[in-house]
Amino acid sequence: MKIIIRYIIISITFFLIVYIYTSKKNQLFLDEREKNIELIKNNITIRKKDFFLNKEDYLNIKNSLDSSEKINTKKTFEKSYYLQIGTYSIEENAIEMQKKLSNISNFIIIKSPINNNYNIVISNNFKTREDAERLEKKVIEAFPEIKPLIKMRY
């Protein structure tokens, strides 16, 4: 009988120790989880404030503009065409290509809108595709190794 009572006491003690240990561990986990949830909520709130306007803020900004500054919400699409000669990761290569083509027409170098590390050599805009095609033929006649692209801009 004494052995059974000792066994029960040892079992209960062991159970209590395990229960206390796991509950403290769970509490630490829950505390950490709550901190992380709070950080995530704050981050989302900051991002919303930085990048998005709610309707009330938008209307306040819109109404605060002069009539001369008001944004024209009606889009007017005017097509134009241009020639893209090439995209270069090394700026010196883009400048060299621009100089090479300078006797044919004016070419400019712009930074890529997708990746600022690339330099794109393009022509000025043309109102018609035929004008862009004429320049394309001149470039190909002068430099057959260059394969320009005609692109359309809205």
- Asked whether residue 69 is assigned to any structural domain, the reply reads no
Q: What is the pTM of this model?
A: 0.49
How far is Cα 99 from Cα 97, in angstroms, rounded to an integer? 5
Our count of domains for the chain comes to 2
Helix (H, G, I), strand (E, B) or coil at 34: helix
Average pLDDT over residues 9-15: 81
Has residue 66 been placed in a domain? no
Residue 134's domain comprises 80-153
- pLDDT by residue (tens digit) across 34-89? 666 666 555 544 444 444 445 565 565 556 554 444 444 455 557 889 999 999 99
Tell me: do 141 and 91 sit in the same domain.
yes
Alpha-carbon span 5 to 15, nearest angstrom: 15
Amino acid at 69: E
Q: Answer whether 121's CB lies under 8 Å from 85's CB.
A: yes
Tell me, yes or no, whether 68 lies in a domain.
no
Residue 75 lies in a domain: no
Pairing mode, strands 80-88 and 149-153? antiparallel
Q: Confirm whether 137 is domain-assigned.
A: yes
Q: Considering Cα of 94, then 99, then 105, then 109, what sign does the dihedral take?
A: positive
- Give the residues across from 82 on adjacent strands: 151
